[in-house]
Structure 1
Amino acid sequence: MSSAPELFSLDNDAWQVRIAPSLGGSIVEARWRGRDVLRPTPAAELEARNVRKTACYPLVPFSNRIAFGTFGFGDSRYTLAKNLAGFAHAIHGVGFQRAWSAHASNANTIDMRLAHVPDEHWPFAFEAQQRIAIDGDTLTLSLRMTNTDTCAAPCGAGWHPFFPLDTAAGATRLSTAWTSMLVSDANDLPCANTPPPQLGALDDTVVDNCFTGWSGSAHIDTPHHRIAIEANDALRCAVLFRPGGQPFFAFEPVSHANNALNGNEPAMHVLSRGEALEARVAISLQARNTESLRSES
């Protein structure tokens, strides 16, 4: 029988964040001035340790899909075990399905680590260090991926945050800049590039695509607050996932294109032995107006 994971809490005057290191290094709740910024994890899903229903989880050492779990790198061909039931592809890396260890924590910061040894899900050794921190109205996510293998290895990083949609209160809109959208085929794999479409209200949008040439900056305007997202240069793409009929969407800052190991650009980073990749996203909140800020405090 599953049991709920141990939770660590970050709290200041603005944020209340709960993290479950042993459940894929995930965030299970992130509230700002009393409102959910990320989709909260239902108690039953937390008890069942269902990481895919959490508020946010890290994507390491790759994002999204590797077609049918196979790829070539160097002079070798690799076949990965499928890691989600019902999926034909390897997806989202290994980090979200492994227990991370909490190495240090206080009211404002938690540091977590994951050491991976080669297995059927990923053939290269690495160490991941994840830090989640709050400072004022900003929540910052940081990842440091170090190649601990004996040879060069591909490496990617990112996060999969879910944002709630309060359609009854009004529209939610995303504002950002990117240069192209990867069109998916019947296998949910990129098959072409196209100019990105104009996005309307996310409440009325259905999309599940990777966007390349991302500026690294975005704003999400909800009926209650504005979310400003700022990423470092390592995160060159973003995946927008808004399933029809669901009260949430995901906006995922990531370092490479879907199925990058099979030729889609931008490619994954290649790290030499001992080399590290560092990714960072800052999520800053602002009330829609001063009146709503007072009412939510």
Structure 2
Amino acid sequence: MSAAQASLTLAQGPWQVRVLPALGGAIASASWRGQPVLRPSVEAQLQQGLVRRSACYPLLPFSNRIGNAQFEFDGQTYALTANFDNEPHAIHGLGFQRAWQVQSSSAESLTMQLTHATPSPGQWPFALRATQVIAIEGDDLVLRLEVENTDHRRAPCGLGWHPFFPLDSATQPTQLQTHWQAMLVNGPDKLPCDSTTPPDTTQLDTLVIDNCFTGWSGQAVMSGPHHRITLTASPTLRCAVLFRPPGQPFFAFEPVSHPNNALHGVTPAMHILEPGQCLAGEMRLSLSTAPSIL
């Protein structure tokens, strides 16, 4: 049985959510009142183990890029494996690349755990244990993530999620309402090299962007033809990445705890966990009927 076949489905009230614990703890699909809230996955791609083609996957113990797959911490240099094609960087951590173990499940909630105990060369050098909860609470889909430093040394730590949302511009444009203080400008190497005043990101269907924003308010409202999504994040998730590739019927809005390449001095810095300490975050998707179809 493939990782994609070993799925669990949450079905409660208006929600139906399919989760793939063995494929990076990812969500394959999530619908509310029969309409997709997250980008539907292509089953053949899931069968091939392409977790990045899923609807949403967890980010830990860091988000986005660590420049040239290496960093210094507490006087020591660490080398990581570059894990994306044609890029020299380490990207999105290990959570989406590992199988998660199911701890408990019901019709409305699923708890999974991932243990990273004895790092090999090229892997994240610090031991950790992560717990992810996916739960349906009325009209809300709630994702919770906690990372514990189980190493004997203190360690940098970050977390977040990479949810993809569908676009249906033929029916009605999708609009984004949120607030952030600055946008990080990427250089040719796709790493931040400057910051600027955020541009207008309201009209998602015509936007082309792949940038991290700092000073994020922790809430974003995405209004499309079928429903309105209010994404609310806990204070730990103080940054956000907005990704809208050209010509694609989806976008990603990623609530994360730190900016791209934070381990190379981009601020705000990553959290530092002492042995036994934990970092936790929550993302809540609250659904309501779109104003145009009330």
Q: Distance in 2 between matches of 1:288 and 1:242?
A: 22
Q: Distance in 1 between matches of 2:254 and 2:73?
A: 25
Q: Distance in 2 between matches of 1:39 and 1:194?
A: 30
One of 181, 184, 188 as aligned partner of 2:190: 188
1:131 alignment partner AA: V
Change (3 A) 1:137 1:221: same
SS at match of 1:52: helix
SS at match of 1:131: strand
Which residue in 2 is equivalent to 1:274? 276
Whether 1:199 and 2:204 are equivalent positions in the alignment is: no
Query: How many residues end up aligned between the 2 structures?
Result: 292
Whether 1:44 and 2:31 are equivalent positions in the alignment is: no
Q: Describe how 1:54-65 pairs up with structure 2 within 5 A.
A: 54-65=54-65
Displacement of 1:2: 5.8
Which residue in 2 is equivalent to 1:252? 254
Whether 1:5 and 2:5 are equivalent positions in the alignment is: yes
Which residue in 1 is equivalent to 2:94? 94
TM-score by length of 2: 0.97
Structure 1: which 5+ runs fail to align?
none
CA contact (8 A) 2:3 2:23 kept: no
SS at match of 1:121: coil
Displacement of 1:201: 1.1
Whether 1:27 and 2:15 are equivalent positions in the alignment is: no
2:136 alignment partner AA: I
Q: Distance in 2 between matches of 1:125 and 1:7?
A: 27
TM-score by length of 1: 0.96
Q: Describe how 1:58-137 pairs up with structure 2 within 5 A.
A: 58-117=58-117, 118-119=119-120, 120-137=122-139
Q: Distance in 2 between matches of 1:285 and 1:15?
A: 10
Q: Distance in 1 between matches of 2:111 and 2:144?
A: 9
SS at match of 2:183: strand
RMSD: 1.3
One of 131, 156, 162 as aligned partner of 1:160: 162
Q: Identity of aligned pairs, percent?
A: 54
CA contact (8 A) 1:22 1:101 kept: yes
SS at match of 1:203: coil
Which residue in 2 is equivalent to 1:175? 177
CA contact (8 A) 2:4 2:22 kept: no
Q: Flag as ranges the 4+ runs of structure 1 deviating above 4 A.
A: none
CA contact (8 A) 1:7 1:21 kept: yes
CA contact (8 A) 1:113 1:130 kept: yes
Whether 1:143 and 2:145 are equivalent positions in the alignment is: yes
SS at match of 1:104: strand
CA contact (8 A) 1:5 1:22 kept: no
